[in-house]
Amino acid sequence: MSKEFVIALDGMGGDQGPSMVVQGAAIARKRFPNVRFKIFGDSAKIQPLLDKKNALKEITSVIHTDDIITNEMKPALALRSGRQSSMRKAIDAVKAGEADCVVSAGNTGALMAMAKFVFKTLPGIDRPAIASFFPTLRGETVMLDLGANLQCDAQNLVQFAVMGDVFARGVLGVQSPTVGLLNVGSEDMKGHDDLREAAVILRQSDVPLNFHGFVEGDDICAGTVDVVVTDGFTGNVALKTAEGTARLTSEFLRQSFKHSLMAKLGYVFARPALNKLRARMDPRKYNGAMFLGLNGICVKSHGGTDAKGFSHAIAAAADMVHQDILSDIKQDYARIAETLSSVDDTLTVTKQV
Amino acid sequence: MSKEFVIALDGMGGDQGPSMVVQGAAIARKRFPNVRFKIFGDSAKIQPLLDKKNALKEITSVIHTDDIITNEMKPALALRSGRQSSMRKAIDAVKAGEADCVVSAGNTGALMAMAKFVFKTLPGIDRPAIASFFPTLRGETVMLDLGANLQCDAQNLVQFAVMGDVFARGVLGVQSPTVGLLNVGSEDMKGHDDLREAAVILRQSDVPLNFHGFVEGDDICAGTVDVVVTDGFTGNVALKTAEGTARLTSEFLRQSFKHSLMAKLGYVFARPALNKLRARMDPRKYNGAMFLGLNGICVKSHGGTDAKGFSHAIAAAADMVHQDILSDIKQDYARIAETLSSVDDTLTVTKQV
């Protein structure tokens, strides 16, 4: 934790824009004493906000950019015409070695397209994936992909499994993470062809990965496995369904305590416990989706979050830098990719026979 | 509600088997005074249970069967070799006009295969779908498909939309239900080809359906639309993810109240409110997945539920019988199918041009 490191921030992303970014950086600064920030965006908006925060101002430089990537912009257009945008400049800074990682609360598709274009994928990885933590009954679980790839073949899923495995070891500190493929049942015959083929590959004894098998939707929050692997469509729906259900439960809980005088009195006594629950379920704590499989660290913050939420996305990026996750992933992936390609050859041979 | 009606029950389905079925029927009997039951299964197990319940015994006949469909049995095998099973006989009773609907807590795939084989699909419907209610911030929402069809094309999704629309009007009593397609974003360009094509068809002005557009995972529990349409893979994962998240929240809540003496005291005062919440979120209340698109009423109970949960599945079937949902669906579907086929023709022509 002693080495100084630099985080590039897209100052213009997110519903609350620069104020959330500056305030979020101010919160994150307290947790990471050796951090420095480069904030990219409209300096006329960012600098005045920064001027109010002396401690943050000392460790932050503002790099003015005129362009902004809007939420509506298609990734291809953003890639073509957004070269001078705050988002792109923040990514470029990492590529140029001027920052260690980048955090943005802007347009997810554009961020992924730009990060992929600038950083490139790691050797052996066809497509990057978006990963995030889920709170579970048994700690935290990593799930990927959460929306980068809507349709995935068996090879993509296998690569995600490897990325998730390496990531869980590095960031969660789990020695031999269990990896599950999300499906509609746990039996071998369940699911579509790509899922079953991915399971066959992951079950090969020489793939150095603790493959649990298929898991179902309720296994995510049960914490049945450390890593849940799925395609980006299913992962995105599952993530948002979980968020929606948590919101519904909170709202029902709130309504329960308004129901009667007795219930209102109950609320007064129950408040400490309820606050504890709220803190534990706080979605801001889980803000920060990590782009895995790229040769660079990029974290996407939820666009609708606030400064506290954004500070968690910064923390997720900082943790990846500190633990040198990228080197781990590169090394581990190279090792596993070698085995995988030989497994592939075996499978191809078996199929031909 | 005055007409007498008969419910065929698979006496051998579910983890708790006959005891859950008999006890569930006893609970449901109180809500539906004109119901009669036919329970299919091992009479040596069912009859003694029934003998203890005088009121239920009077309105119930037991039809002995030797065979059982196990949970592990593949649908094709169940269809071939399970003709004498309790599940099949219960379905056959509906087909023969000896019962108005069938309820089973057994093997979902086998039940769907048998029900489809015996009842056949309604004219114009290629594949049946599994539908269920979700609690939401704005009442209840119907979601389908929850697992009958893992991969769906645009036509399947459009048919599900129509089935869901008719069902919501009949059972939820909503005049012009809003229908949404589950996707990873609400913008037109989001999602894969089949989803976008289904949206194009549903948006045609002459399709008599209140199409809202795309919805996301968190819209399910928000109650953004009355009917959420999706493929069986995504629907199954979303359903189970929601169940798992609700379970996680309850467990976190329970732990919060154990944390300190103050919290334990708080629990005493908060108990009425918490009991109210528990009742509202009780998954047993939402037990009973309806098979839609078949020329017969079949409801699947969760296999792991208890008697109270099973009674809710019976109630779901009874509601469908009472409201003559099947006639409504047949009529409405015939009307809509006609429009749809002309829309299809238009689309085909447009594509050719």
Enumerate residues 218 to 237 of chain A having a beta carbon within 8 A of any beta carbon in chain B.
218-222, 230, 232-234, 236-237
Determine the 3-state secondary structure of A9 from DSSP. strand
Name which of A107, A138, A157, A184 to mutate to probe chain B: the one with the most chain B Cβ atoms within 10 A of its Cβ.
A184
Written as six digits, the tokens of B102 are: 């069938």
* Mean pLDDT, range A194-201, rounded to an integer: 93
> Which of A143, A241, A261, A268 to mutate to probe the B interface, most B CBs <10 Å?
A241
- Give me the mean pLDDT over the B286-303 stretch: 94
- For residue A108, what is the nearest residue in chain B, using CA coordinates? B185
ipTM > 0.85, yes or no: yes
Query: Which residue is closest to A260 within chain B, CA to CA?
Result: B273
Cβ distance of B216 and A276 shorter than 8 Å: no
Specify whether the backbone of A38 is left (phi greater than 0), alpha (psi in -120 to 50) or beta. beta
B338 touches chain A (CB under 8 A): no
| Three-class secondary structure of residue B281 per DSSP | helix
Please report the pLDDT score of residue B334 as a whole number.
76
Residue A1 vs residue A337, higher pLDDT? A337
A7 has a chain B CB within 8 A of its CB: no
Q: What is the pLDDT of residues B240-268, one digit of tens each?
A: 999 999 999 888 888 888 877 777 877 78
d(CA B77, CA B62): 26
Residue A71 at interface with chain B, using a CB cutoff of 8 Å? no
Query: How much of chain B, in percent, has pLDDT values that exceed 90?
Result: 66
Q: What is the pLDDT of residues B56-95, one digit of tens each?
A: 999 999 999 999 999 989 999 999 999 999 999 999 999 9
- Total residues found in chain A within this entry: 353
Q: How confident is the model at residue A2 (pLDDT cuts 50, 70, 90)?
A: low
Residue A52 has pLDDT above 90, yes or no: yes
pLDDT tens digits along A103-143: 999 999 999 999 999 999 988 888 999 999 999 988 899 99
Is residue B116 predicted with pLDDT exceeding 60?
yes
Region A241-268: what's the mean pLDDT? 85
Model confidence, pTM: 0.90
Q: How confident is the model at residue A343 (pLDDT cuts 50, 70, 90)?
A: low
Q: In the prediction, which pLDDT does A186 show?
A: 80
- pLDDT for residue B97 is more than 90: yes
pLDDT at B248: 92
Higher-scoring residue by pLDDT: B281, B213? B213
CA distance B303 to chain A (A): 14
Chain B CB contacts of A216 under 8 Å are 236-237, 240
B242 contact residues in A (CB cutoff 8 A): 217, 241-242, 244-245
Of B243, B289, B238, B231, nearest to B111 by C-alpha is B289
* Other CB atoms within 10 Å distance of the CB of residue A123: 10
The DSSP line for B93-158 is HHHTTS-SEEEE-S-HHHHHHHHHHHH-BPTT-SS-EEEEEEEETTEEEEEE-SSS-SS--HHHHH
Nearest Cβ partner of A263 from B256, B268, B272?
B272
Mutation site for A-interface testing, chosen from B194, B241, B255, B256 by largest number of A Cβ within 10 Å: B241
**Cis before A145? omega within 30:** yes
Using the CB atoms, write b or e for B232-248: b if 16+ within 10 Å: bbbbbbbbbbbbbbbbb
Interchain pair B233, A271: CB under 8 A: no
Question: Using CA atoms, how far apart are residues B313 and B327, in angstroms rounded to an integer?
Answer: 21
* Contact check, Cβ <8 Å, B248/A192: no
pLDDT at A324 over 90: no
Does position A228 have pLDDT exceeding 90, yes or no?
A: yes
The reported pLDDT for the residue numbered B347 is 54
